[in-house]
Amino acid sequence: MSTAAPSVPPTAVVTGAGSGLGRVITRGLLDAGFQVALLGRRGEALDETVGDRYGSLVIPTDVTNDGAVASAFAAVVSEWGRLDLLVNNAGTFGPVGEADAVSVDDWRQTIEVNLTGTFLCCREAFGIMREQSPQGGRIINNGSISAHVPRPGQVAYAASKHAVTGLTKSLALDGRPYRIVVGQIDIGNAATDMTAGFADGARQADGSVRPEPTFDPAHVADAVVAMARLPLDVSVPSLMMLASQMPYAGRG
């Protein structure tokens, strides 16, 4: 009879887990055997994500609130003892318009959610992963196609996502001594509520409005699970996924 110790399921935190890509990614990780803590503003939406799946921890959290974020990650460690994976997914499109038409409050709110919220969660995860034993873990930040090539009229969103790329690269460098592996997934036109209008028409750089294709977000979940299952001696610094016929190459 085998005397080997039973394997312990890996643990994960997913932000923005109450809808869209966060919901699909969370379900993918749960189905793949991860224990997942769901962070998001609306507890009822997080419960809907979980459904009848086991291995979850629902923690209503505003990722722009540093105290709330610290409490959420402390709850994860209290429940499971360690953190193996953070998927930073919470985000907002923010205001649409040229720079002089964007209010300062809307700009700040977009930066708070997309950049500061991502930083706060990375900050907590980094500290946990550095101190735990065995040391290390993986962080996957959700960037965007707009982290490379912006859409017209989305100055706040594009700036925030470009900044997330810088954050990802910096954390990847700083995490090397501690086996903290940091990468980014950049997604274009996954079919979620945020992109629901693209099939009817999206504004193009030449001022026209044209329908754009989308793709099943389940493929994003598959990609995240594949990244999450890799050993920590393998890094995926950047992974781009997009609907194959959407405007990207030559965009603008």
For 11, the token pair is 């643990």
Catalytic, out of 54, 157, 178, 248: 157
Secondary element (H or E) of residue 137: strand 137-142
The neighbour count for residue 78, using CB atoms within 10 Å, is 9
Q: Is 210 left (phi over 0), alpha (psi -120 to 50) or beta?
A: beta
How far is it, in rounded angstroms, from Cα 125 to Cα 182? Answer: 11
| Burial zone of 123 (CB within 10 Å; 0-12 exposed, 13-18 middle, 19+ buried) | middle
- Are the beta carbons of 89 and 36 closer than 8 angstroms? no
The neighbour count for residue 30, using CB atoms within 10 Å, is 22
Does 157 qualify as catalytic in the annotation?
yes
Residues carrying an active site annotation: 157
